[in-house]
Amino acid sequence: MSNTKKITLMAFILMMLTSVFGVTNIGIGFYRMGYAAIPMFVIGGLFYFIPYIMMMIELATGFKGQGGGIYTWMEKSVSVKFAFIGIMMWYSSYVIWMFGKALSLWVPLSFAIFGKDITVTPINVSAEVQGNIVFGPTDFGPFILGIVGILIVLLLAKIVSSGAGRLAKITSIGGLAVVSLNLVLLVGGVFAISRNLIDGHMFKETLTVQSLISSPNPDFQNVMAFFGFVVFAVFAYGGTEAIAGVATDLENPERDLKRGIFMSGAFIVIAYILGFFMVGAALEWSQFGEGVSSLSALFLIMGHLGDAIMGVEGSILGQFLTRFAGLGMFLSYIGALVALSYAPLKQMIEGTPSEFWPESFKNVNENGVRVGAVKMQAIIVIAFIAAKSILSLVNPDGAAKLYELIITMTNVGMTIPYVFLIFAWFKFRNNDSLEKDVILIKSKFMVTVCLVSTIFLVMFGNIFTIVAPFIGDTPDYQTGIWTIIGPVIFSVIALVIYSLGEAKINNK
C-alpha cells in the first residue's frame, strides 16, 4: 500500500521552525554578548535572512513541479557541474551535522530528567584478574553515548524510510516543542517584567545604549571575538533551503510554500529579538557564573526565569522550567534530525543524474523513499560515531580532538553552498527564458543590493572563520588547517563522483 500522504501548511511551518530556529541560539547569544546580540541578529535578519528567504521562494516557485530541490535550481540556473559540486558540499556538511547532533542530543535529555548535564560524569570501569590489572579505570561514558547515538541513527533511517507522512508528524512534534519553548520564554518574560516593575525596574540586566554595543562577557570584548559573533548571528538563520526543497511534498505547493516560508521567517526574526529582551528580564548576565557553557546557558536561563516569576531562588517553577527546556530541546533536536535526514538526501539523489549513483540508490520502496541511499547515509554516520567511540576507550583526548576536527570541517563547508545558491538565484533572475514568480525583489537595483548584502555577509563569515584560528596571541594551526581541508575534501569527492558519472553518460 503506497504512502501518498502530503505535508500540510502547519506541518511545513513547524518543519521550518525546527530546522532553522534554535532557542539555544538565544541562550548562546545572550551568554556571549548580552543585549549586544540584538543588533547582530537584526543585521543578520535584515541583510541576510529576509533576502535569502525571498530568493529561496523565487527559486522554489520558479521550478515548481520539478523534483530535486536545490540541485534543480542550481542546475537549471547555472550548470550541471556547478550544481553537483554545490549540492555535494551542502549534503556532506549535513552528514557531519547528523554525526555531531546524534552525540550531543543527550545533553538536553539529561537536563530534562536530572536537571543537570550528567553526560560529562565519568563512568569509570576497571578489570583485575588474579591480582593483575588488565586495564585501569576507563571512562566508558563517551563509548556508551556512542552506542546510543548509533541506535538513534538506525531509528532515524527507519523513520525516513516510512515516507513523508510519518516524517511530517515527528518533525511537527519538534516544531511544537520549539514554539512552546519560545512562548514560555516570552510569556514568562512578561511575568518577570511585571514583577521587576514592582521593584522599580523593568529588566534585571540593565538595558542601556552601551549594553547594545558592548558585551559584558570579557571573552567577547576584543575585535576578533566580536566578528566571530557576527558570523554566529548570520549562520543562526541557516537551513531555509533544506526545507524549501521539499515543496513537492506539500498538499498545495502553489499556495503553501510562500505562506509557510513567510510566516515562519517572520516568527523566527521576531522571536530571536524578543527572546533576548526576555532573558534580560529573567537574570543579570553576572549570574551565569563559573561552569556555564554556551550549551548549558539556555537551561540556566529557564531556571532563573522560573525564579524571577516566583520571586525566590531555587523555586519549584525554576526547576520545572529547566527540565521543560531540556525536554523541549530534546524533541526539537529529534525533529531536526528527522527533517534533515530526509530533505538534503532527497534533493541530492532525486535531483542529480541517476548515472552518478549506484543501482541500489535507484530503488524506491512503497513509501516513495530511496532506501538504498538512506541505508548508505546511516552507515556513513554510524562509521563516524563508531570511530569516535572506540577511540574514546583507547585515547580519550584523541577522541575529543577527532570530534572537534570533524565538526570543524563543516565550519566553512556548510556555508559555501549558500554562495552557490545566491549566485544561482542571481543567474536565474537574469535569465529571461526561465519562468519567475517575483516576490518583493523586483527592480534590478534591489536584485543587486540583495546579492551584495547576502554574499558579503556569508563570505565575510567564511573568510573570518578561515583566518581567525591563524591569528591572535595563541594561534590554533590545527583547527585552521582543518577548516580549509573540509571544503577541499568535499569538493574533491564531488569532482570524482561527477567525473565517474559523466563518463557513464558519455559511454551510453
Q: Kind and range of the H or E element at 136? A: strand 132-139
pLDDT tens track for 345-378: 888 888 888 888 888 888 888 877 888 999 999 9
Helix axes 69-77, 316-351, angle to 10 degrees: 50
- Distance from the Cα of residue 425 to its chain's centroid: 22
Q: Kind and range of the H or E element at 138? A: strand 132-139
Per-residue pLDDT band at 126 (split at 50, 70, 90): low
Q: Is the per-residue pLDDT at 321 higher than 90?
A: yes
Distance CA 391, CA 402 (A): 9
Cell of residue 206, nine digits: 540593565
Query: What count of Cα atoms within 13 Å lies in the side-chain half-sphere of residue 171?
Result: 32
Per-residue pLDDT band at 318 (split at 50, 70, 90): very high
User: What percent of the chain is predicted at pLDDT more than 70?
Assistant: 92
Helix axes 50-62, 444-467, angle to 10 degrees: 120
Distance CA 143, CA 146 (A): 5
Single-letter amino acid, residue 375: K
pLDDT tens track for 222-258: 777 777 787 788 778 877 776 766 666 777 777 777 7
Helices (H), 369-507: 371-394, 396-408, 410-413, 416-429, 444-467, 477-506
- Distance from the Cα of residue 463 to its chain's centroid: 20
Distance CA 378, CA 167 (A): 16
Cell of residue 323, nine digits: 527540565
Q: What is the mean pLDDT of residues 481-498?
A: 87
| Per-residue pLDDT at 244 | 63
pLDDT tens track for 376-427: 999 999 999 998 888 888 887 777 777 777 777 776 777 788 899 999 999 9
Cβ within 8 Å of residue 503, ≥6 positions away: none
Q: Is the per-residue pLDDT at 443 higher than 90?
A: no
| Per-residue pLDDT at 323 | 94
301 φ/ψ angles, rounded to the nearest 5 degrees: -60, -45
User: What percent of the chain is predicted at pLDDT more than 90?
Assistant: 23
pLDDT tens track for 56-105: 888 887 887 776 678 888 999 999 999 999 999 888 888 888 888 888 88
34 Rama class: left (phi>0) / alpha (psi -120 to 50) / beta:
left
Q: Tell me which residue of 62, 271, 263 sits closest to 181, measured CA to CA.
A: 271
pLDDT tens track for 139-162: 777 888 889 999 999 998 888 888
Cell of residue 257, nine digits: 510554500
Query: How does DSSP classify residue 22?
Result: -
Q: What is the mean pLDDT of residues 262-272?
A: 86
Task: Please say whether the beta carbons of 187 and 26 come within 8 A.
Answer: no
| Least confident residue range of 196-205, 324-333, 435-444 | 435-444
pLDDT tens track for 156-199: 888 888 876 667 777 778 778 878 888 899 899 999 999 889 88
Residues in the chain: 508
Task: Please say whether the beta carbons of 43 and 460 come within 8 A.
Answer: no
| Per-residue pLDDT at 277 | 94
| Per-residue pLDDT at 2 | 45
Task: Please say whether the beta carbons of 344 and 91 come within 8 A.
Answer: yes
Per-residue pLDDT band at 133 (split at 50, 70, 90): low
